[in-house]
Amino acid sequence: MTKVQATISSFWSKGSEKKAKPRTDGGGEGVADATEPKRARKENVQSSNSVEVMDREADVKVPKTDAGTVQDDAEAKKVEVEKETTTEERATKKKAVAVRKLTSETGEKSKNAEAETSTDKASGATWKAGQPVPYQFLAVGFGKVESITGRLEITDILRRMFQTIVETTPEDLLPAVYICVNKLGAPQEGLEIGVGEGILIKALSHTCGKSVNALKDEFRKVGDLGDLAASMKASQRTVFKPAPLTVRSVFKEFKAIAKSSGRSAMDEKRARIQKLLVASEGAETKYLARAFQGKLRIHIADKSILAALAESFPRPEETVERVGSDMSAASLLTHAYNQHPVWDTMLNYLLNNRVVDSGILDACKLTTGVPISPMLAKPTKGIDEVVEKFSDQPFTCEYKYDGERAQIHHLADGSIQIYSRNAENQSEKYPDVKLAMKDVLGPDYSNSEYILDAEVVAINPQTNHILPFQSLQTRARRDVSVAEVKVAVCVFAFDLLYFDKPLIHDPLKQRREKLRACFVEKEPVFTFAKGCDMNDPGEITDYLHESVKGGCEGLMVKQLLGPAATYEPANRSQNWLKVKKDYLEGLTDSLDLVPIAGYYGKGKRTGVFGAFLLACYNPESEQYETTCKIGTGFSEAQLTEFSEFYNEKDRIIGGRKSYYVFSGSTSLEPDVWFEESQVWEVRCADLTVSPAHTAAIGSVDPEKGISLRFPRFLRIRPDREPQNASSSEQIMEMYLAQP
DNA sequence: GTGTCCTGTGTGC
DNA sequence: GTCAGACCCATTCGG
DNA sequence: CCGAATGGGTCTGACGCACACAGGACAC
């Protein structure tokens, strides 16, 4: 018993030093098939096979009992660990709480764990504590997760995976989490894998010997490169079996692929991908391929990982009142992550402390130099909805500028860093902004650290008028000097998140006062977003029209006071609403267009067309001119319906009709061409000059056509014939009528 | 070797 | 960016 | 009073356009 105690206490007290000592006690054994979904609440099936990994792991540390049913296991462990608790209490209170919490939680869970018998024992990957976790372990878990849709179950499977890793090889938790979220590091580090469909297909082709074109055809049918890779691999005989992949080696290899650059970088990437694919087995192949492509497609993202991590560690009751002490484990982690979105920091804390407590908010705190996930606004369908939601509270309306979100940090070292909405470091792109920010701080504040939330918008430097988003896009991104800047820009600041201390818990009114007190406008490069505080919702309409006239997309409506007016990072909160002009009567851009081609759907759209090529009609030339692709706005039933419709009665034709005007753009090249048959009503936000589409070509630009921004399907127009679709001329007029 | 064009990839919205 | 679908959870409805 | 129905909120993954950048292919 003493020996076991030593094991357990070392388990709890051991920090997460980078190099965890190999365990000397023989260690636990991880089991790849750790993932039977727990269906406790749904079905009460009992099975002697339904031992959770947690329990097995506990068995290793606790003297073995004759494992029988789950209940027995759980009881046995509970007893043992409770004995531990008394021992632990002599050590530190915190630990004691932690252990007790774990006891009650896992004990309870185990009791309810009448999970179904797992049928997937195929992998059989096991490893000893301290040894690298096999990648197979994750891959098998991904398979389970993918096969179900319930969030609770998904979270539970992830939880078990994480707990197993923590108990065997905690230093693998970080790479495991990164593999789960399919990222290579914090976004501001700017590491991208640089692999897509193309390279992956090439690599596959080299691996399996099939031609690239054959694989592309297969891919169209299968709709998923992971599934395709897996089926290729399954049909192949492995001559000799390379060493099994591990979580850490795979993650390391991902990074290596990302970092390869320069001459023949593509060859190197391809070679590394091939090596991994060759070494992979079963589910590994599928998820490796998907990881390269950047889509794991297993219904998990950051939020699910946070939820699972929250359940992977005990949540002690906190006696001392402090910020967050009353929060649930999940909301604690979410808050911590949202204000400091770096997995390394979070996992470091969790592994060091082995609890989820409010201390994590100190570990993951709002810091200049670490971009926070920006607060987002909820789309509304119109002003009525705003009125309904903000009936009594005071609110403010701000112009919604059509530019790029920018989070501007002033660090303690005096440097300025600019981050995008997705936390990419954009500082290189905006040397002019960095320069301008040097003197926007009011007197007495020049040494203050701050985080500003703003929108960067292209402007005409002569008139100071706002330019469309398309102009902003043409700015160079890398290694730009002030002299090289081609498109002038104005920063419209609208929030202040940090000013020598975090402000996100203050109401907007206060933050805004601080913003206006500490910063000075510097026309035309730095101004405060135009806004207007209102009590009467009736004023909104006029203001909206005004904003649109000023070149904006609409309005942001925000609560000013009270708890609903704090800054909620990463939340698409009800407290910020956006009213876009394209939802409003009279300002709506709606067109009638003709589907002339289709694209095979991928992923969950496999088997139906996932998108269509739409055209307008030019009565003068009697030709159809492509206007946009469309792939959203359909229900699943409609997609099925349209696929059936176009597959009937020779509506799919051998090739492009001579009177379909197509630019030849490879990315638009359809899978099949259609007979012009229907008219669809489509909505968009704007019309744009297009290098790829041919609608009204030559009218606003000698070589370019017109296309749609944010097109979505509304409905079929059964009352219209293709020749009555919107005309090229109408589209040109709509383009010219834009503010 | 150098310049130009094309393609794939990753950003922004 | 838009959008639909699935799930979860709280609330309301109906027997 | 309790289970069923309902509705709002959240999360995920389909898909859109335009652009810059990096590397590869090709011509000279």
ipTM of the assembly?
A: 0.95
Q: What is the largest CA-CA distance in chain A?
A: 92
Element (H, E) at A628: strand A623-630
Calculate the angstrom distance between C1' of D1 and CA of A144.
Answer: 40
Picking from A557, A565, A577, the residue whose alpha carbon sits closest to that of residue A380 is A577
Q: Give residue numbers, 356 to 385 of A, with CB < 7 Å from strand D.
A: none
Picking from A299, A301, A276, the residue whose alpha carbon sits closest to that of residue A288 is A276
More confident residue, A658 or A80: A658
Lowest-pLDDT choice from A94-98, A127-131, A216-220, A347-351: A94-98
**Helix, strand, coil shares, percent, chain A, to 5:** 40, 20, 40
Residue A538 has pLDDT above 90, yes or no: no
CB A553 within 8 A of CB A685: yes
CA angle A404, A405, A410 (to 5 degrees): 120
Q: What is the pLDDT of residues A295-304, one digit of tens each?
A: 999 999 999 9
CB < 7 A contacts with chain B (nucleic strand):
A 190, 192-200, 294, 402-405, 420-422, 424, 469, 473, 666-667, 709-710
A603 Cβ contacts chain D strand, under 7 Å: yes
The mean predicted confidence, pLDDT, of chain A is 83
User: Strand pairing of A623-630 and A589-600?
Assistant: unpaired
A322 Cβ contacts chain C strand, under 7 Å: no
Calculate the angstrom distance between C1' of D12 and CA of A145.
Answer: 13
Residue A43 has pLDDT above 70, yes or no: no
Residue A452 has pLDDT above 50, yes or no: yes
pLDDT at A59: 30
CB under 8 Å to A51, separation ≥6 — which residues?
A67, A70, A73
pLDDT at A386: 85
Picking from A297, A36, A39, A53, the residue whose alpha carbon sits closest to that of residue A152 is A39
Q: What is the pLDDT of residues A108-165, one digit of tens each?
A: 333 332 222 233 344 456 899 999 999 999 999 999 999 998 999 999 999 999 999 9
**Confidence bin at A46 (pLDDT 50/70/90):** very low
More confident residue, A22 or A343: A343
A41 Cβ contacts chain C strand, under 7 Å: no
CB-based burial, A139-170: b 16+ in 10 Å, e otherwise: bbbbbbbbeeeeeebbbbbbbbbbbbbbbbbb
Q: Give residue numbers, 626 to 685 of A, with CB < 7 Å from strand D.
A: 628-632, 668
Residues of A forming the active site: 400
Nearest nucleic acid nucleotide to A710, CA to C1' distance: D16
Beta bridge partners of residue A377, listed in sequence order: A573
Residue A287's CB is within 10 A of a number of other CB atoms, namely 28
3-state secondary structure of A435: helix
Give the span between the Cα atoms of A142 and A283, in whole angstroms.
8
In this prediction, residues A298-312 reach a mean pLDDT of 96
**Confidence bin at A450 (pLDDT 50/70/90):** very high
A610 Cβ contacts chain D strand, under 7 Å: yes
Nearest nucleic acid nucleotide to A608, CA to C1' distance: D14
Calculate the angstrom distance between C1' of C3 and CA of A255.
Answer: 34
- Tell the residue number behind the tokens 């002038």, with chain if given: A488
In this prediction, residues A42-57 reach a mean pLDDT of 33
Nearest nucleic acid nucleotide to A582, CA to C1' distance: C2
Element (H, E) at A418: strand A416-419
Give the span between the Cα atoms of A567 and A511, in whole angstroms.
9
Phi, psi of A153 (to 5 degrees): -65, -45
Residue A33 has pLDDT above 60, yes or no: no
Calculate the angstrom distance between C1' of D13 and CA of A42.
Answer: 27
Where do the H-state alpha helices sit in A15-52?
none
Phi, psi of A152 (to 5 degrees): -65, -45
